[in-house]
Structures are given as structure tokens and as C-alpha cells.
């Protein structure tokens, strides 16, 4: 069962429950969103509509997530290629051991 946690994002307080997260983690996430909201507000001083600022903040965080996913996928491919390159000499050595002596 998820625990309800009261958080503050910007000037708004809300009660949330998030599956798989502890109250401490939820508060840390809310703090991160609040910080990003402040950054977005600073960048878009002419936007007074809080719903627009919330959407801009969500878009900014989504862009961060996309960059992180792309970086993780690139790293995964690099690691796979490196493992394959390191494994090939081992495969060759095993193959040479399996060949009958002539």
C-alpha cells in the first residue's frame, strides 16, 4: 500500500501517493520539480499562467529524461560491443581447443 505524502511544489501544496517510492524519495522528487519550476519561471518571466509554467516544466524534465535514456542506450551499446570484442578471442581459443589434433 502506498503512503500519502504532502509535498510543496512552488507555491502549491498537494497530497500524492506514488507506487514504488518512499516518502523521502517523493519529497526529493517534489523538491527537484520545484527547483525546475523556479528555473523555468526565471527563463520565462513574461509567462504568468501557472498551468503553462507547469507544462513548460514538465517538458523540460521530459527532455532531461529523453537525454538520459539516449545516453544510457548509447552506453549499453558501447558496453555490448566491448564485451563482444573481448569475448571473441576467448571464443577463438575455445574453438581451437575443440579442434582435433592433426
Residue 39 has which C-alpha cell? 528555473
**CA–CA separation, 57 vs 40, rounded Å?**
6
Separation between Cα atoms, residue 92 and residue 73, nearest integer Å = 29
User: What is the pLDDT, as a whole number, of residue 101?
Assistant: 58
pTM: 0.75
Q: From residue 59, how far is each of 36, 40, 65, 87 by CA, in Å?
A: 11, 10, 10, 42
Question: Domain-by-domain residue ranges, the chain?
Answer: 5-98
Residue-wise pLDDT tens digits, 29-78: 999 999 999 999 999 999 999 999 999 999 999 999 999 999 999 999 99
Per-residue pLDDT tens over the stretch 1-19: 688 999 999 999 999 999 9
Residue 18 pLDDT: 95
SS3 84: helix
Confidence at 98, pLDDT banded by 50, 70, 90: confident
Amino acid at each position: 500500500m502506498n503512503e500519502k505524502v504532502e509535498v510543496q511544489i512552488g507555491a502549491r501544496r498537494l497530497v500524492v501517493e506514488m507506487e514504488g517510492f518512499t516518502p523521502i524519495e517523493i519529497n526529493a522528487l517534489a523538491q527537484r520539480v520545484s527547483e525546475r519550476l523556479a528555473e523555468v519561471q526565471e527563463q520565462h518571466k513574461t509567462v504568468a499562467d501557472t498551468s503553462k509554467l507547469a507544462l513548460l516544466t514538465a517538458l523540460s524534465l521530459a527532455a532531461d529524461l529523453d537525454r538520459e535514456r539516449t545516453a544510457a542506450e548509447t552506453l549499453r551499446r558501447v558496453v555490448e560491443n566491448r564485451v563482444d570484442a573481448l569475448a571473441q578471442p576467448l571464443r577463438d581459443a575455445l574453438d581451437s581447443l575443440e579442434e582435433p589434433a592433426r
